[in-house]
Every structure is written in C-alpha cells, then in structure tokens.
Amino acid sequence: MVAGSGHAPPVRRKKADGMTLLYTSDPERGRIWREIFAAEAPDIAFVTPEEMNDPAAIRYLAAWDPSRELLERLTSLQALFSVGAGIDQFDMSKLPPYVRLVRMIEPGIVEGMVEYACGAVLTLHRGFIDYGLAQREHRWAPVKLVPAAERRVGVMGLGQLGQAVLKAVRPFGFALSGWSRTRHEIEGVACHAGEAELDTFLAHCDILICLVPLTAETRGILCRKTLSKLPRGAVLINVGRGGHLVEHDLLSLLDEGHLSAAILDVTEPEPLPQEHPFWDHPRILLTPHIASMTRADTAARALIANIRKFEAGLPMDGEVRPDRGY
C-alpha cells in the first residue's frame, strides 16, 4: 500500500516560495529539459543536484529512484514526478505522506509501446519464432496461415497503454479482449473485469499481452495457475514488469508445450544475469526493456503542464492514487 493512504489528509510542510524543480535523472535528457523549461517555463527554476544550493527550496522532484537521504533533505517537496511510466521502482515507505506521486504520461511512451506491441503480435501471429528456428536448421517449413479473425489477442490492463495497443492492433482483424480491475467498455473489445472474470478472459487469449502495473496484487500474476488457463499453444508478451512473471512457471509451460513462445521486454532483475535460462531458450525472444522510452521533448512539456495544473489546484495527469497503488 502506498504511503499516505490514511483517512485524514496529511498536513503539508512549509511551501517553498519559488518554483524549483530538481532533476536527478539521465544527463542527456536533462539538457533537453533544461532548454525547454528555460524557453517555455522560465518561472520554474530547473536545477540538478550539483546546482542545488538550498534543498529546502525544492518544490518538485523529477527522478527515477531517489534515495531516502535525498528525500529527507527536501523538506518543502510537494510532488515527485517519475521520469518513466511506472512508479513500482519507488520505495513508497521513503516518501512522506503529503508528497504527491505522479507517473509520466506523454505521447512518446504510448507511441513506443504501440509499435512494440504491434510488432510482437505480428511476429507471433505469423510464426516468426518458428521460422527463425527453422532457418537455423536449414528447414523450409511453411506453416498453415491462421487468419487474424481466428486469432484471439487479449490485453491485461486497460489503461492508457493497454487501450492504445488494442486500438492499434484492431485494424488487422484480430478477435480482441481485455481485462482490468474495474469494468471498461471499448468498442470492438470484449472487456472483462476483476478476479472473477480472469479465467474467462484467459481462456480466450491465443496471444496474451501483459500491461498492468506492478502492484502487490499483480506481482506474480503470470504464473502456472493463470498461464495454464490460456488455450494450448498460446503465446505471451510481457511488456509490464519482470515481477509479473513467475519465471520457472513460464519455462515449464514452454517445455511442456502448453505455451508455444514468449516475447519478454522486462525481467527481474534487469539486466538479466548472464547465466539465466531465458537467454538461450529457443522459444523466448528477449528485448532489454525498450518497448517504450520516455521521449525528452514531449515529456518535458507534459511535466510543465502538470506543474501548471498542480499550481492551479487541478488534478495532475498520471497522479498515483494511494488507495490503489497505481
């Protein structure tokens, strides 16, 4: 559970007078952000840790995983902005309860995920993993084509990314379904909600895409119990987080032939250790957590827009709800 999920609104500490943002992430992106802040939001001071003279003047922090020590020094902090789409990397217990936590929502992340997911779905749909194996063995081995309308694609997680992926694969004609915590209605998609409908959802996925956030409820959700509910021969695309997958369950289901392939963009830990069995598995395609990446220019503008919303007392895009943990 996220810190700050108590009932009474926590009391904020002293508000810093100016608007100062501390940036502690990738220096290359930082250079672009600095230019955009200077040009488009000159009233917001943009500083790096080396330039921070007065920690008590910092009102906003943009970071991937700030240390407890840094957070303790930022006595006027009001909002912590993740530089990525996920917030599972934060140790919530380090975070004072009055600090608002915001994940990154920006068009670059969505575009990247849509490209990756379409590529992965088509790779699996058209049997490229099998053709790769056949090529290495010098086998000319065409496989009967399954029409897209007979291939069922299901997305776990119907948030900004899950919905964008469904919209992008729809024109190919796949039979689409989705699963989320609360009920959604999406044109052309059979939507399922909650644990009670998970088995029905899984039973109708030839291609399963994981796009839920990593929370206490979803850790280990891709395990023998759930993956064995997929139809025989189904395939998995995990673009959520490595912590969603129980690795030895995937390996045994692949080896038993219940699953026929997996495309994994995320692992736990990252990078994947050298001796890990995923590296050499013939039916696993691995990518190094690149499905989508925060794009510097669009992200800077999304952050400025959120700071403006915060200053105006409006809800921010991507604000984490403490009661849900995402």
Residue numbers annotated as active site = 241, 289
Q: How far is the CB of 256 from ligand NDP (least distance, A)?
A: 26
Q: Between 57 and 87, whose beta carbon lies closer to ligand NDP?
A: 87
Residues 113-152, mask of contacts with ligand NDP (x by CB under 6 A): x---------------------------------------
**Does the footprint of ligand NDP cover residue 295 (CB under 6 A)?**
no
Residue 122 in 3-state DSSP? helix
**Binding residues among 222-281 for ligand NDP as defined by CB under 6 A:** 239-241, 265-266
**Does the footprint of ligand NDP cover residue 214 (CB under 6 A)?**
yes
| Bond prior to 96 in cis (omega within 30° of 0) | no
Q: How far is the CB of 141 from ligand NDP (least distance, A)?
A: 32
- Helix (H), strand (E) at residue 264: strand 259-264
**Binds ligand NDP (CB under 6 A): choice among 61, 158, 186, 205:** 158
**Binds ligand NDP (CB under 6 A): choice among 55, 159, 242, 322:** 159
**Does the footprint of ligand NDP cover residue 291 (CB under 6 A)?**
yes
Compute φ and ψ for 234, nearest 5 degrees: -65, 165
**Does the footprint of ligand NDP cover residue 192 (CB under 6 A)?**
no
Those residues with Cβ within 8 angstroms of residue 61's Cβ, 6 or more apart along the chain or in another chain: 21, 22, 24, 70, 71, 74, 77, 79, 80, 81
Q: How far is the CB of 180 from ligand NDP (least distance, A)?
A: 4
Instruction: Give me the residue whose beta carbon is nearest to ligand NDP.
Output: 159
Distance CA 208, CA 121 (A): 9
Find, among 209, 220, 180, 175, the residue nearest to 197 by Cα: 180
Q: How far is the CB of 133 from ligand NDP (least distance, A)?
A: 25
**Binds ligand NDP (CB under 6 A): choice among 20, 82, 180, 267:** 180
Question: Which span (34-42, 50-58, 155-163, 270-278) binds ligand NDP, by CB under 6 A?
Answer: 155-163
Q: Edge-to-edge, what's the strand order for the sheet holding 259-264? A: 189-193, 175-180, 152-156, 207-210, 234-238, 259-264, 284-286
Rg (Cα) of the chain, in Å, rounded? 22
Q: Between 116 and 174, whose beta carbon lies closer to ligand NDP?
A: 116
CA dihedral 125, 212, 163, 184 (to 10 degrees): 120
For 47, the token pair is: 């500083």
Compute φ and ψ for 149, nearest 5 degrees: -65, -20
Q: Which residues bind ligand NDP (CB under 6 A)?
A: 85-86, 109, 113, 157-162, 180-182, 211-215, 217-218, 239-241, 265-266, 289, 291-292, 326
